[in-house]
């Protein structure tokens, strides 16, 4: 029986039936020089020294819809003055001079009310002319500084105090032989205002009324300071061509600063910019462009939103097209090849814009076969750029059973067209030989019997 088995083995081997195990061996193989180098921390440097530039993604993957030029009209707006550059050691306090405590003066745009004492008296001659107290009909101060009262005419009261305006109206009523019993009040304060902007909750304007407007009242009208870093925030006041500043922390701690009186024409700006010249430039731009800034910004933002939406769609289409070309193989890409006893043999794509390690490729593909793979025999086959050079093919050998080997696998960089090969276990090789021989041992005697 032994002789029969050996004879059958020799017969099957001669016919090429016996299992041929793939392997890596050093020497001249099929006309190519193969050199096996043990992968160590020292040889790893040589393995990774081969120049390699990973392929880059198209520009559409790096661009965003907002990286293009500004929309038409935006360049007409002043640049923001608050762009922090450095954190100062201390902020200077420069307060404006205390204004005189003058009474309120009526201005263009204010609405005043004239009210009679009682209906039905001698002033009833002005019925429909002067406002009755229950009708609250007002008179707006026109751009020439006057109000127009029927049967009385135009009376100039702009730039007058309430007392001066009452005296002027009294004289005009007497001249028209009308009972001058009346009361005068300002219903709407539109002439004198303070603008407030910058790092506040709701930028806007605060009117000057009969009651003096203080800095804390003005800040309360816009919701207070919204700057995240109040240590470096500063309140700047632009008045009559001069710029003053008050640190927010000092303002919050000092009642005297909170009661700082503001006057008509003041501009208050809460800022974290440390360059005083830039802040002053901001106010100058606001004064010069106050009549057109809002409309220009609105139109520019609408145009910019439309332009960004179009560009975003274009970038998305370019990315989708690139991904489709990758899927159909129309885009050139670098690969390494996994063979031998790995869970998922095949072609593994190298990533864009960065290198990949041996561990990346192995573990992304399921790793080494747990039963049949031999982790001591892991090879990275790399061809020389010129086959005539020494080596031809270099086989970097890695023993993956040691901690050092596992760490080296995370640092061994792969190159395009590398072949990662994992050899089989010796017992697996014999098992596969027997799997092929056993059916043959049965088949051959049967064939001989039929003869």
CA distance linking residue 173 with residue 169, whole number of Å: 6
Distance in angstroms (rounded) separating the CA atoms of residues 398 and 371: 19
Coil, strand, or helix at residue 51? coil
d(CA 335, CA 347): 6
d(CA 219, CA 194): 11
Nearest-angstrom CA–CA distance, 128 and 149? 10
**What is residue 65's predicted lDDT score, i.e. its pLDDT?**
72
Question: What pLDDT shows up at residue 12?
Answer: 47
Q: How many Cβ atoms are within 10 Å of 247's Cβ, its own excluded?
A: 20
Across 286-312, b (16+ Cβ under 10 Å) vs e yields beeeeeeeeeeeeebeeebeebeeebe
| pLDDT tens for each residue of 240-271 | 989 998 998 889 999 999 999 999 999 999 98
Cβ contacts of 107 within 8 Å, gap of 6 or more: 141, 158, 159, 190, 191, 192, 264
Contact of 149 with 139, CB cutoff 8 Å: yes
| Contact (Cβ atoms closer than 8 angstroms) between residue 77 and residue 282 | no
Q: Which CATH class is domain 86-100+192-272?
A: alpha beta
Cα–Cα distance for residue pair 100/263, rounded to 1 Å: 10
User: How confident is the model at residue 219, as a pLDDT?
Assistant: 92
Give the pLDDT score at 127: 44
Domain boundaries, the chain: 2-55+333-444, 86-100+192-272, 111-188
Q: Using CA atoms, how far apart are residues 307 and 314, in angstroms rounded to an integer?
A: 11
CA–CA gap between residue 327 and residue 350 (Å, rounded): 15
Q: Do domains 2-55+333-444 and 86-100+192-272 have the same CATH topology?
A: yes
**∠ CA(65), CA(69), CA(73), 5° rounding?**
115
Please tell me the predicted confidence (pLDDT) of residue 84.
41
Whether the CB-CB separation of 126 and 178 falls below 8 Å is answered with: yes
Q: Is 232 left (phi over 0), alpha (psi -120 to 50) or beta?
A: alpha
Give the Cα separation of 34 and 384 in Å (integer): 10
Beta bridge partner(s), residue 94: 245
Please tell me what DSSP assigns to residue 122: G
> Which of 3.20.20.150, 3.40.228.10, 3.10.560.10, 3.40.50.300 is the CATH number of 2-55+333-444?
3.10.560.10
Record the tokens describing residue 394, joined without a space.
């270099």
Within the chain, which residues score under 50 in pLDDT?
Answer: 1-6, 8-16, 68, 70-71, 74, 81-85, 121-135, 446
Mapping DSSP onto H, E and C, the string for 400-448 reads: CCCHHHHHHHCCCECCCCCEEEEEECHHHHHHHHHHHHHHHHHHHHHHH
> In the beta sheet, which residues pair with residue 197?
269
Q: How far is CA 50 from CA 31, 46, 396, in A?
A: 24, 7, 13
Q: Can you tell me the distance from the alpha carbon of 189 to that of 210, in angstroms, rounded to the nearest whole number?
A: 9
Angle made by CA atoms 117, 118, 123, in degrees to the nearest 5: 80
Instruction: Tell me which CATH homologous superfamily contains domain 111-188.
Output: wza like domain (3.30.1950.10)
């Amino acid at each position: 029986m032994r002789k029969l088995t050996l004879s059958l083995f020799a017969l099957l081997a001669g016919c090429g039936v016996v299992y041929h195990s793939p392997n890596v061996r050093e020497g001249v193989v099929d006309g190519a020089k193969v050199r096996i180098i043990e992968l160590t921390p020292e040889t790893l440097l040589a393995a990774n020294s081969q120049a390699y530039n990973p392929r880059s993604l198209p520009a559409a993957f790096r661009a965003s819809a907002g990286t293009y030029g500004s929309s038409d009209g935006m360049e007409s707006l002043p640049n923001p003055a608050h762009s922090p550059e450095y954190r100062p050691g201390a902020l200077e306090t420069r307060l404006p001079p205390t204004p005189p405590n003058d009474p309120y003066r009526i201005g263009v745009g204010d609405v005043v009310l004239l009210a009679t004492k009682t209906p039905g008296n001698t002033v009833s001659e002005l019925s429909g002319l002067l406002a009755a107290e229950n009708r609250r009909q007002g008179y707006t101060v026109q751009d020439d500084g006057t109000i127009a009262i029927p049967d009385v005419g135009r009376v100039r009261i702009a730039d007058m105090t309430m007392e001066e305006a009452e005296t002027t109206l009294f004289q005009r009523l007497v001249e028209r032989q009308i009972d001058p019993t009346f009361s005068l009040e300002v219903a709407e304060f539109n002439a004198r205002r303070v603008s407030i902007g910058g790092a506040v909750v709701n930028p806007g304007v605060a009117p000057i009324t009969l009651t003096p407007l203080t800095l804390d009242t003005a800040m309360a009208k816009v919701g207070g300071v919204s700057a995240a870093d109040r240590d470096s925030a500063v309140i700047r006041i632009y008045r009559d061509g001069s710029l003053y500043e008050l640190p927010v922390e000092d303002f919050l701690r000092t009642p005297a600063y909170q009661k700082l009186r503001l006057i008509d024409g003041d501009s208050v700006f809460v800022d974290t910019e440390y360059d005083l010249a830039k802040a002053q430039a901001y106010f100058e731009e606001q004064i010069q462009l106050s009549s057109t800034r809002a409309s220009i910004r609105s139109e520019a933002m609408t145009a910019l939103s439309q332009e960004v939406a179009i560009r975003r769609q274009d970038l998305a289409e370019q990315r989708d097209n690139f991904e489709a070309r990758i899927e159909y193989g129309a885009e050139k890409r670098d690969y390494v090849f996994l063979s031998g006893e790995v869970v998922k043999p095949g072609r593994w794509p190298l990533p864009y814009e960065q290198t990949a390690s041996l561990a990346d490729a192995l573990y992304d593909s399921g790793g080494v076969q747990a039963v049949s793979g031999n982790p001591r025999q892991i090879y990275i086959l790399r061809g020389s750029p010129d086959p005539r050079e020494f080596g031809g093919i270099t086989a970097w050998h890695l023993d993956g059973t040691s901690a050092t080997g596992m760490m080296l696998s995370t640092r061994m960089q792969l190159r395009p067209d590398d072949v990662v090969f994992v050899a089989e276990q010796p017992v697996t090789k014999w098992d596969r030989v027997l799997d092929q021989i056993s059916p043959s041992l049965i088949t051959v005697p049967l064939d001989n019997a039929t003869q």
